[in-house]
Chain A
Amino acid sequence: MHSKRLCLLALFLGGCIAGYLLLGARGNWAFVLPFRGNKLIALLLVAIAVSTATVLFQTITQNRILTPAIMGFDALYVLIVTILVYLLGGQVFLQLPAVGQFVFNTTLMLVAALALFGSLLTRARGDLMRMILTGIIFAVLFRAITDFLQRMIDPNEYAVIQISSYARFARIEVELLAIASVLTCAALIATWRMRHRLDVLALGPDAAINLGENPQRGMFQALIIIAVLVSVSTALVGPMAFMGLLVVSLAHMITPTASHAVLLPSAALISAITLVGGQFVLERVLGLSTPLIVVVDVVGGGVFLILLMRGKRR
């Protein structure tokens, strides 16, 4: 049953991709296809990174409401970029090679995420309210420090940060694509190899130990993968608050299963359909009147509220 639904999702995504690449193109195909192809690859990377990071996070925290974005992972990334611009100065920062910059940010992100969230997840596991509160406080704190630093710096340098503080799909940083693809692929391969262990980790720490898995080790590996994936998606398009929650909730509805071998591809496909299909409709059909992320966040925010109201944590 699940494999049939996955095939249908894949077909639908294929349609969206074809529409996005081919429809409404005027002029030289040799120019249009690579141009749109790059953007398409970026959209796919972001879509899969967000959905996979969310599934991993929900598995290690055993809930269906929290996502890396809600817990402030994206805000942490923006904060790290801001601190770098503040310390180095916008000009120096811009002169760094894009790839070096990105790798540096990602490394800092890894360290910060492990330090902050590693201990929180160990201590507050199972205490959903405490996790939500801590996450909200983290996110607000990160944004407040970011704002503070942005006030202190030169307005010209502020523009450098602003680019990375807002979600944008129309203007994607294409020069990062190569390194982002490599990192995402590595993270996805690691996740896929973990899929059976993730099934066991989802049963809770005691059950995982009983079955011979080390939950602590699994959690740290998952956190590392999440930090890499969030860095990739935030660097490419900026923070997206409710996108992950929306697509993973949809995946739970369309393919209701506890098996990560189904859930991971299902969430990735739905996520890709949301981004590519949404971008296709907005750019080609409606003529780019609204940024896609606004639509996604409104719908995703609604889902978040509904899940909280229904108290359905699992």
Chain B
Amino acid sequence: MIIVTDLSHKIGTAPILQDINMTLEKGGVTALIGPNGAGKSTLLSLIARLVPIQTGRITVDDLTIGACPTDVLARTLAILPQVIDTAPLLSVRELVGFGRYPYHKGRPTAEDHAKVDYALETFQLTPLADRRLETLSGGQRQRAQVAMTFAQDTDYILLDEPLNNLDIAASRSLMAILRDLAATHSRTIVIVLHDINYAAAYADQIVAMKSGQIVATGSPEAIVTDRLLQDVFQTDPKVHCLNGKMMVQV
């Protein structure tokens, strides 16, 4: 369970987050939505300790962010990092292998190798295992990164706008993989999404944010409504219900 208590954050003098209180139960896919500048990515970065907390408190299970050793947290919570452009020389297997670093600290055991093989297989990357990242397509790279976070074997996985630059096929396949991680591997997924339709189609729970505050939390059916979209995004697209899923007409 991720518990956020009285969390506020400023960059310079500009308030980014104001008194956020949020509880995310274990399991399932939670989507953070909201307009640009709502503070979604900042909230995610704070939970993942990429940015130090200014005021407030975040706990993940029994670990307090900022107080618990960072390498202990790395075995409980993973964030999908943007490493592609900094490490073009890595092979897919090497990148996925980094997911085991929090456990072996540079000296992989047989078990670590087995987990990397399993991650490669799960994400259908075995044929690409020895290719370099720079030779892969955007979708394949994204899949390799998710495989790395999968190999990290954490209960919680955070993703910050993972669909950026992905076409519809790669986006749908990534979302399906995340759903599967939540369903069959009982991981807890928290994901920042720009496209409400993806949130409505794949998330169990949606958290809507606006100007640094949480406006609403609930199931896609409860959140994706004409009134709420108008309120959060200041625009009035039509919402349809198709086969029980909410869809926003753009």
Does A157 sit within 8 A of B, measured CB to CB?
Answer: no
Among residues of B, the one whose C-beta sits closest to the C-beta of A196 is: B106
Structural contact, B102 and A211, CB atoms closer than 8 A: yes
Task: Flag if B98 contacts A256 (CB, 8 Å).
Answer: no
Minimum Cβ distance to chain B for residue A260 (Å): 10
- For B85, what are the chain A residues with a Cβ–Cβ distance below 8 Å? 314
> How far apart sit A202 and B86, CA to CA, in the bound complex (Å)?
7
- Please determine whether A212 and B82 come into contact, CB atoms closer than 8 angstroms: no
Per-residue 0/1 for A152-174: is the Cβ within 8 Å of any B Cβ (1 yes, 0 no)?
Answer: 00000000000000000000000
Instruction: Contact check, A206 vs B81: say whether CB atoms are below 8 A apart.
Output: yes
For chain A, give the interface size range: 20 to 34
| Further contacts, 7 of them, CB under 8 A, given A199-B106, A212-B102 | A196-B105, A197-B106, A203-B98, A204-B81, A206-B50, A207-B81, A314-B88
Can you sample 8 A-B contacts with CB below 8 Å? A203-B83, A204-B82, A206-B50, A209-B50, A212-B69, A212-B71, A212-B101, A314-B86
B208 at the interface (CB under 8 A from A): no
Interface membership of A200, Cβ < 8 A: yes
In the assembled complex, B79 has its CB within 8 A of some CB on chain A? yes
Whole-angstrom CA separation of A202 from B78 in the bound complex: 18
Q: Find out whether the CB atom of B86 lies under 8 angstroms from the CB atom of A62.
A: yes
A258: nearest chain-B partner, CB-CB: B89
A226 CB → nearest B CB, Å:
20
Chain B residue contacts of A257, Cβ below 8 A: 89
A297 interfacial by beta-carbon distance below 8 Å: no
Docked complex: A242-295 residues within 8 A CB-CB of B = 256-259
A95 at the interface (CB under 8 A from B): no
Specify the chain A residue showing the minimal Cβ separation from B73: A212
- Chain B residue contacts of A200, Cβ below 8 A: 98, 101
In the complex formed, the residue of B with least CB distance to A197 is B106
A199 and B95 CA atoms in complex are apart in Å by 11
Closest chain A residue, CB of each to CB of B95:
A203
Question: Which residue of chain B is the closest to A63 with respect to CB atoms?
Answer: B86
Contacts of B48 in A (CB 8 A): 209-210
- Residues of B close to A91: CB separation below 8 A: none
CB of B174 closer than 8 Å to a CB of A: no
Contact check, B86 vs A210: say whether CB atoms are below 8 A apart: no
B215, CB-defined interface residue at 8 Å: no
Q: Is A122 an interface residue (CB 8 A)?
A: no
Q: How far is the CA of A164 from the CA of B90 in the complex (A)?
A: 41
* B87 touches A (CB below 8 Å): yes
Residue among A199, A200, A211 with the most chain B CB within 10 A? A211
A-B pairs with lowest CB-CB distance, top 8? A196-B106, A212-B74, A212-B71, A207-B81, A204-B86, A212-B102, A207-B83, A258-B89
